[in-house]
Amino acid sequence: MSRVLPYCAYLERDGLTLPHSGVEKSPVAVVQSGSVRLLWSEIPWPFQPEHLQQNAVEFHDVVHHVFRQTAVIPFRLLSTFEDAGLLKRFVAEHQVAMAADLDRLASYVQMESVIYTIAERPGPAASGTEYLRARAQQAGTIREHAERLSAAVADVGAEVRLRENKNGIRLFALVNRGAEHGFHDAITGVAVPNGVSRRISGPWPAAEFMSEEVKMPALVTRNE
């Protein structure tokens, strides 16, 4: 059994190079609609659990081969189509929205910083009230630090967003391609409060800043 696996969409332009093989060494093909091009492979399905990590590396390599050269709309590894006909229909239906996002984000990349607490949990003797108070204080510290980072990167980011999760706060910044060092300098220039840590990553495709119509996997049926 096989499935059609999409990697990423991009806008055609002169000089782009494309990878020859992808997940499970399968040939990489191109489907097009208007100015939008989309890379895909026909792959054995389902993935074997013992190969999943290697599959993820191969998938990432295809996406980033194109992303190093231009803006892309990345799909997710487990988002597949039953056949190439359905993929072509999908691209035709959404190519206007995808082209608009790719054009708008053409000169940008996404940089990130994750802010999280490293403070010790209250000891076993602490009451429930004390524990909740400590958690609230930690959350407040993280939120305040995230706001400071957001202000610090405002000068180097065309747009900055904060998103809370169960472990802390993730900061996303839309940064001009080639100016990633400015984001790094802005983040590291803000002192880290006690009990808080942070990580910087990127550049990535600007997935957080894509329109709701284009964000993945909202438009793609994930086949289990």
Residue with tokens 């993280």: 142
**Which residues, in sequence order, are CB contacts of 128 under 8 Å at separation 6+?**
none
Give the torsion sign (CA, 38, 44, 49, 50).
negative
Does any domain span residue 13? yes
> How does DSSP classify residue 43?
E
Query: Domain containing 176 — which CATH number?
Result: 3.30.70.2730
- Tens of each residue's pLDDT in the chain, 224 residues: 899 999 999 999 899 999 999 999 999 999 999 999 999 999 998 888 888 999 999 999 999 999 999 999 999 888 899 999 999 999 999 999 999 999 999 999 999 999 998 855 555 556 678 777 877 888 889 999 999 999 999 999 899 999 998 889 999 999 999 999 999 999 999 999 988 999 999 999 999 999 988 875 444 544 44
Do 157 and 89 lie in one domain? The reply is no
Domain that holds residue 72: 2-104
Do 124 and 192 lie in one domain? The reply is yes
The tally of domains found in the chain comes to: 2
pTM: 0.88
Do 115 and 185 lie in one domain? The reply is yes
Do 80 and 120 lie in one domain? The reply is no
Structure tokens at 108: 């940008």
Q: Which helix (H) or strand (E) holds 44?
A: strand 36-44
Does any domain span residue 15? yes
Residue with tokens 């709309």: 73
Does any domain span residue 169? yes
State the CB neighbour count (10 A cutoff) for residue 83.
Answer: 11
